[in-house]
Structure 1
């Protein structure tokens, strides 16, 4: 992407927010402006919709420091770093986000910021619909020079960059004190040139001035891109004036000092695309889980029902065919039942006992007072003899009337024995 949006947040809660859209291809500003405060970040959603977003956070809210690395702690450096910095931090290390900017031999350059601040910055951008690619301390977006500092003023504050990983955001009131506190001031090339000129006139006096420690501390070269403040220590060397936000934007595009690590690590694009559908996915997963649970319960119920039917079928077969009792193999018992059915049904259609029973059943069901005690089938004579008992003589008569529709019926002698009447019926098929 040749264009990107750079946003600089203020160190003050209600401070203005500077923004700028920079084109790498054209090397010029596409759009820029200033918001009253961070609550208006939503106005930049259109500019950040299809462009990378670089978020510059106040250097005054980020501690840039370095620490010595104990030998043998290389593999566990991420876990050790918080405790190496514990003595110089006023807050509990658990409340701080510590990001390693660079490692040099036995030194680690780190950026320290509170989780509260990081979460607040990212939450404001997310609420405004802005997807942040990098979070960078603003002072580390100034140009880095090997032999001097760089400085620029924005929103009444001075941004100074000392090196690749060191810098500050300072109010003018304590800028002078900070500059005087630097232990290794750098002698400017301008002063060296001036000294060479003075050498021809008064080499000895110039040498004594450069040798003087107090004088050296006030000769730190600072390359400034905005008008220099008055009465500050060090030698302030003017650079070509440039729009501060443009200067910071160019530095942001080249910077690798992003604070988005650990819990704030940038998520893959697919993860962000999935995020709006996360609730729908969770709901779908719950519904799917319920459906699967219901299916499993239904299958278990059907299996239990099938097992119950099988057990009942075994019980009936064992009752009908007691010679096979104790055998529970379905295939074997099925074969025996088929054989028995064939035996009872006869070899020809309409022959055997079963067809008789089929026609006999409707008549018997209409006279429930009659109980059949014995059946005897004679295939050779093509007749069926049955012994039965009933409560009254008339029950036998009712049954005989019903049976004559399908059979030739011979009714034997009926005998009463107490409360029961017993008798026999001989049935023949009508020809």
Structure 2
């Protein structure tokens, strides 16, 4: 598991910011500390690289509510939720972001846990992080990361000398100050506190249960906790940034891909065309063989051997092997994509195969002529004419002597 960076911010950008780097696999704190305020957040940029970042918000800025629903939670209720809670908040509902927690049912009643936070305030913190290249994948509420308490009791941990957090139920939490903490605990009917650090206040009429074996830094406890609420949802959902070089080179990459697709399409069409031409020539050779030697079964891959044997059996082994010539010519044309056969004529008197063809250029005729000569044929090239787009001409092919 990767190391994680937790950043605990205050209500105001001017307040100190606490941070901690934690290795979950080793259950080890790599480092922790405090920076002066939001203007110094860039001091954590290097620590954020290659680590999963979590932004922890103060519960004083987040309102937790459990809403009674008319039916089980569904998408339509999500659209109606702002109207259902509008009378329960003292500010314009449109200024608040509604984060969805767990939906649950008890007997025949249905409920949804929600958290309300000021949109501009939350966006401001995310913008500050973004400006210094810190990208939190999760945003949690600090008090909800405390251990869930038992009935009529609360979990508590000190944040500083003048405030501490309490969690009193699955979806109830608060950040308290010493001068009014007692009154709040009495009003919330909290009779006992499970302490995970010393408190900055003496409390009367409240049972204090100290868990000294579990005393640790608040952020260390937060790092190990699992929260049912991640505020990175809806309009604040985390979107991974694409690499800078991808943005720079995206137009060039797109153009290159389009060019490659076009080239492969053209080559594919050419391959199909010339394959069809080669098959047509092979069909002509087979047809000529069958007419010359009726009743013979033709095997295309053994055609050359069949022709030599047939000519030997008929006493024509010294004659021009015109069928073999056609086979050789078919093989060579298949290799030359720029050479297209238009006419084929065999001059029996002169034992000569005359080929009328069209090619891309003069070099294409020269290549076919050279390849035929390499196979032992005598080749004469007739006049070649350039009609503007291609070259038209004739080859006269004689068998090897």
Fold agreement, TM-score > 0.5: yes
Matched, 1:171 2:177: yes
Answer yes or no: is 1:47 the counterpart of 2:51.
no
Does 1:151 find its partner at 2:159? no
**Offset of residue 276 of structure 1:** 7.1
Q: Which has the larger radius of gyration?
A: 1
| Partner of residue 346, structure 1 | none
- In the other structure, the counterpart of 2:359 is none
Q: Distance in 1 between matches of 2:247 and 2:77?
A: 35
C-alpha spacing 1:12/1:72, structure 2 compared with 1 (3 Å): closer
Q: Does 1:272 align with 2:272?
A: no
Sort the Cα spacing of 1:72 and 1:247 in 2 relative to 1 into closer, same or farther, 3 A.
closer
After TM superposition, the structure 1 = structure 2 runs for residues 201-350 of structure 1, keeping only pairs within 5 Å, are 220-228=191-199, 229-240=201-212, 241-251=215-225, 254-267=226-239, 271-273=240-242, 277-278=246-247
SS in 1 for 2:229: coil
In the alignment, is the contact (CA less than 8 A) between 1:134 and 1:260 conserved in 2? yes
Shift of 1:145: 2.7
- 1:365-380 correspondence runs (5 A): none
Q: Distance in 2 between matches of 1:276 and 1:92?
A: 42
In 1, Cα distance between equivalents of 2:92 and 2:238 = 25
TM-score computed with the length of structure 2 as normaliser = 0.57
Q: What is the deviation of 1:116?
A: 0.6
CA distance in 2, matches of 1:14, 1:149: 30
Deviation (angstroms), 1:222: 1.0
Counterpart pick for 1:113 among 117, 132, 145:
117
- Seen in structure 2, the aligned counterparts of structure 1 residues 232 and 277 have a Cα distance that, compared at 3 Å, is farther
The answer to whether the Cα contact below 8 Å between 1:10 and 1:16 also exists between their aligned partners in 2 is yes
Asked whether the 8 Å contact 1:102–1:165 carries over to 2, the reply is no
Shift of 1:37: 0.6
Conservation of the 8 A alpha-carbon contact between 1:99 and 1:112: yes
Task: Give, in angstroms, the shift of residue 245 of structure 1.
Answer: 2.0
Q: What corresponds to 2:95 in structure 1?
A: 95
What are the ranges of 5 or more consecutive residues in structure 2 without an aligned counterpart? 257-401
- Tell me, in whole angstroms, the C-alpha distance in 1 between the residues paired with 2:251 and 2:78: 34
Shift of 1:166: 2.1
Aligned pairs, how many? 247
Structure 1 residue 266: Cα displacement: 1.6
1:315-340 C-alpha deviation (Å, 9 max, x unpaired): xxxxxxxxxxxxxxxxxxxxxxxxxx
Which of residues 123, 134, 139 in structure 1 aligns to 2:138? 134
d(CA) in 2 for partners of 1:62, 1:87: 17
Change in Cα spacing, 1:73 to 1:140, as seen in structure 2 (3 Å) is closer
Shift of 1:117: 1.0
Tell me if the contact between 2:73 and 2:112 (Cα under 8 Å) persists in the aligned partners: no
Structure 2 distance, partners of 1:35, 1:265, is: 27
User: Residue 129 of structure 2: SS of its match in structure 1?
Assistant: helix
Q: Deviations over 1:214-267 (max 9, x none)?
A: xxxxxx12101122321344212111222222112222xx22311011101122
**Large movers: runs of 4+ above 6 Å:** 282-285
Partner of 1:71: 71
Contact 2:73–2:103 under 8 Å retained in 1: no
In structure 1, what is the equivalent of residue 167 of structure 2? 161
Report if aligned partners of 1:179, 1:233 keep a CA contact under 8 Å in 2: no
CA distance change for structure 1 residues 68 and 276 in 2, over 3 Å: closer, same or farther? farther
Q: Compared with structure 1, are the counterparts of its residues 124 and 283 closer, same or farther at alpha carbon in structure 2 (3 Å cutoff)?
A: farther
CA RMSD of aligned residues (A): 2.4
Tell me the secondary structure at the aligned position of residue 76 of structure 1: helix
Residue 31 of structure 2: aligned partner? 31
Residue 177 of structure 1: how far off its partner (Å): 2.0
Deviates more, 1:52-61 or 1:97-106: 97-106
Structure with a larger share of its residues in helix: 1
Tell me, in whole angstroms, the C-alpha distance in 2 between the residues paired with 1:136 and 1:2.
19
In structure 1, distance between residues paired with 2:228 and 2:52 = 14
Q: CA offset at residue 92 of structure 1?
A: 1.4
Q: State the partner residue of 1:62.
A: 62
Structure 2: distance between partners of 1:256 and 1:101: 6
Which residue in 2 is equivalent to 1:427? none
Match of 1:207 in 2: none
Q: What TM-score, normalized to structure 1? A: 0.53
SS in structure 1 of the partner of residue 75 of structure 2: coil
